[in-house]
Structure 1
Amino acid sequence: MPQPFADITPPIALTPLDGRYRAQVSPLVDHLSEAALNRSRLVVETEWMIHLLDSGAIPGLRDLTDAERTLLRAIPEDFGAEGIAEHAEIERETVHDVKAVEYYIKRRLAGTSLEPLAEVVHIYCTSEDINNLSYALMIRGAVHEVWLPAYEALIAELAELAHATAEVPMLSRTHGQPATPTTLGKELAVFVHRLRRQARRITADEMLGKINGATGTYAAHAISVPDTDWEQVSRTFVEHLGLTWNPLTTQIESHDWQAEVYADIARAGRILHNFATDVWTYISLGYFRQRLSAQGGTGSSTMPHKVNPIRFENAEANLEISGALLDSLSQTLVTSRLQRDLTDSTTQRNIGPALGHSLLAISNLRKGLAGLDVDADAMASDLDGNWEVLGEAVQSVMRTLGVQGVEGMENPYERLKELTRGQRVDGPAMREFIGSLGLPEAERERLLALTPATYTGCAAELLRHLEG
Structure 2
Amino acid sequence: MDAHLIDSAIFGHQWSTAESRGIFAESTRVARWLDVVIALAVAQADVGIIPASSAAAIAGLRGAELDLEAVAEGTRTTSHSTLGLIQVLQRMLPADAAEHVYYGTTVQDISDTAQVLEIAEVGELVWRDLWAIEAELLSLAARYRETPMLGRTHGQPGAPITFGFKAATWADEVGRSLERLRQGRDRWLVAELGGAVGVLGFFGVQALPLRTAYCDRLGLGEPAISWLTTRDRLAEFAQVMAVVVGAMARIANEVYMLARAELAEVREPTPATTVGSISMPHKRNPEVSEQIVTLARLVRSSAGVLAETLVGEHERDGRSWKTEWVVLPELSHYVLAASGMTRSLVRGLEVDPARMLANLEATGTASSERLLSVMSARLGKHRAQATLQDAYRAAIGSGRSLTAVLDGQIEPAELAELDRFDTGAAAAMADEVVARATRRRAGESASWR
2:430 maps to 1:451? no
Deviation string for 1:108-162 (max 9, x for gaps)?
Answer: 432xxxx534433222212212221111112211222x33323333333333333
2:122 maps to 1:150? no
2:35 aligned residue: 43
Q: 1:73 to 1:189 in 2, by over 3 A?
A: farther
Q: 1:46 to 1:290 in 2, by over 3 A?
A: closer
Q: Tell me if structure 1 keeps the 8 A contact 2:370–2:418.
A: no
2:261 maps to 1:269? no
Q: Tell me if structure 2 keeps the 8 A contact 1:41–1:98.
A: no
Letter in 1 for 2:419: T
The DSSP-based 3-state class of the residue aligned with 2:340 is helix
Aligned match for 2:320, one of 297, 319, 344: 344
Letter in 1 for 2:112: N
Q: 1:326 to 1:368 in 2, by over 3 A?
A: same
Unmatched 5+ stretches in structure 1: 1-11, 404-408
Letter in 2 for 1:233: L
Letter in 2 for 1:105: L
Letter in 2 for 1:390: S
The DSSP-based 3-state class of the residue aligned with 1:173 is strand
Greater Rg, structure 1 or structure 2? 1
Distance, in Å, in 2 between the alignment partners of 1:173 and 1:104 is 63
1:287 aligned residue: 265
Distance, in Å, in 1 between the alignment partners of 2:238 and 2:356 is 38
The DSSP-based 3-state class of the residue aligned with 1:463 is helix
The DSSP-based 3-state class of the residue aligned with 1:180 is strand
Distance, in Å, in 1 between the alignment partners of 2:101 and 2:363 is 74
1:463 aligned residue: 430
Describe how 1:230-309 pairs up with structure 2 within 5 A: 230-249=207-226, 252-284=228-260, 285-289=263-267, 292-293=270-271, 296-309=273-286
Aligned match for 1:52, one of 20, 27, 44: 44
2:71 maps to 1:87? yes
Shift of 1:170: 0.5
Aligned match for 1:413, one of 371, 385, 398: 385
Q: Tell me if structure 1 keeps the 8 A contact 2:81–2:107.
A: no
Aligned match for 1:27, one of 19, 41, 53: 19
2:111 aligned residue: 131
Greater displacement, 352-361 / 44-53: 352-361
2:368 aligned residue: 391
Deviation string for 1:292-327 (max 9, x for gaps)?
Answer: 526x43221111111111111122222212221122
Q: 1:123 to 1:52 in 2, by over 3 A?
A: same
Shift of 1:401: 6.0
Q: Tell me if structure 2 keeps the 8 A contact 1:321–1:354.
A: yes
Q: Tell me if structure 1 keeps the 8 A contact 2:53–2:97.
A: no
Letter in 2 for 1:49: A
Q: Tell me if structure 2 keeps the 8 A contact 1:246–1:253.
A: no
The DSSP-based 3-state class of the residue aligned with 1:269 is helix
Distance, in Å, in 2 between the alignment partners of 1:418 and 1:134 is 66
Q: Tell me if structure 1 keeps the 8 A contact 2:91–2:98.
A: no
Deviation string for 1:185-222 (max 9, x for gaps)?
Answer: 21121111112201221233122333121111222212
Aligned residues: 426
1:203 aligned residue: 182
Distance, in Å, in 2 between the alignment partners of 1:216 and 1:290 is 51
Greater displacement, 22-31 / 164-173: 22-31
The DSSP-based 3-state class of the residue aligned with 1:449 is helix
Distance, in Å, in 1 between the alignment partners of 2:143 and 2:127 is 24
Letter in 2 for 1:100: G
TM-score by length of 1: 0.81
Greater displacement, 38-47 / 232-241: 232-241
Q: 1:29 to 1:388 in 2, by over 3 A?
A: closer
Q: Tell me if structure 2 keeps the 8 A contact 1:40–1:135.
A: no
2:296 maps to 1:310? no
Q: 1:141 to 1:429 in 2, by over 3 A?
A: same
Q: Tell me if structure 1 keeps the 8 A contact 2:255–2:267.
A: no
The DSSP-based 3-state class of the residue aligned with 1:293 is coil
Aligned match for 1:18, one of 7, 14, 37: 7
Shift of 1:86: 4.6
Letter in 1 for 2:174: L
Shift of 1:421: 4.0
Q: 1:270 to 1:193 in 2, by over 3 A?
A: same
**Superposition RMSD in Å:** 3.2
1:328 aligned residue: 305
Q: Percent identity?
A: 22
Q: 1:293 to 1:218 in 2, by over 3 A?
A: closer
The DSSP-based 3-state class of the residue aligned with 1:109 is coil
Q: Tell me if structure 2 keeps the 8 A contact 1:194–1:271.
A: yes
Q: Tell me if structure 2 keeps the 8 A contact 1:290–1:307.
A: no
Deviation string for 1:21-40 (max 9, x for gaps)?
Answer: 43552212332333333222
Q: Tell me if structure 1 keeps the 8 A contact 2:23–2:118.
A: yes
Deviation string for 1:365-413 (max 9, x for gaps)?
Answer: 344445542222211111112232312212213434678xxxxx99322
The DSSP-based 3-state class of the residue aligned with 2:350 is strand
The DSSP-based 3-state class of the residue aligned with 2:85 is helix
Q: 1:94 to 1:287 in 2, by over 3 A?
A: same
Q: 1:381 to 1:189 in 2, by over 3 A?
A: same
Q: 1:240 to 1:434 in 2, by over 3 A?
A: farther
Q: Which has the higher contact order (CA 8 A, sep 6+)?
A: 2
